[in-house]
Amino acid sequence: LAKTTQPISMDSYEGQEVNITCSHNNIATNDYITWYQQFPSQGPRFIIQGYKTKVTNEVASLFIPADRKSSTLSLPRVSLSDTAVYYCLTMNRDDKIIFGKGTRLHILP
């Protein structure tokens, strides 16, 4: 069973900031939080990973509260090409890596 819960789908408009929240109530102390993006008929692609507080890279930010029971992926100023499925995972060094159903993000013009 997936260890995370995400909204099934979201719509937004070009140029907006999009926030996708993931719930992981049973996250373990040694788990990291990782987000992937998947386009149709392609393998998922790594976006960002973090353990606590805030992580930012060139494509996204990841916000993790102190209790680590949830996380929020933030995509600034989305474009049509950001339409994809976004997966949130918790992972550690020893466990198998399990994906949930993901969030289907649809960006409208």
Partner 1 sequence: DGGITQSPKYLFRKEGQNVTLSCEQNLNHDAMYWYRQDPGQGLRLIYYSQIVNDFQKGDIAEGYSVSREKKESFPLTVTSAQKNPTAFYLCASTPGRDYSPLHFGNGTRLTVT
Please work out, in degrees rounded to the nearest 5, the angle formed at the alpha carbon of residue 16 by the alpha carbons of 41 and 24: 65
Q: Is 101 in the site for partner 1 (CB under 8 A)?
A: yes
Among positions 20-79, residues that touch partner 1 (CB under 8 A) are 32, 34, 36, 41-46, 49
To the nearest whole angstrom, how small is the minimum distance from the Cβ of residue 88 to partner 1? Answer: 11
Nearest CB to partner 1, comparing residues 45 and 77: 45
To the nearest whole angstrom, how small is the minimum distance from the Cβ of residue 44 to partner 1? Answer: 6
User: What is the separation of C-alpha 96 from the centre of its chain, rounded to a whole number of angstroms?
Assistant: 18
Q: How far apart, in whole angstroms, are the C-alpha atoms of residue 50 and residue 34?
A: 7
Residue from 28, 80, 98, 108 binding partner 1 (CB under 8 A)? 98
Q: Enumerate binding residues for partner 1 (CB under 8 A).
A: 2, 32, 34, 36, 41-46, 49, 87, 91-94, 96-102
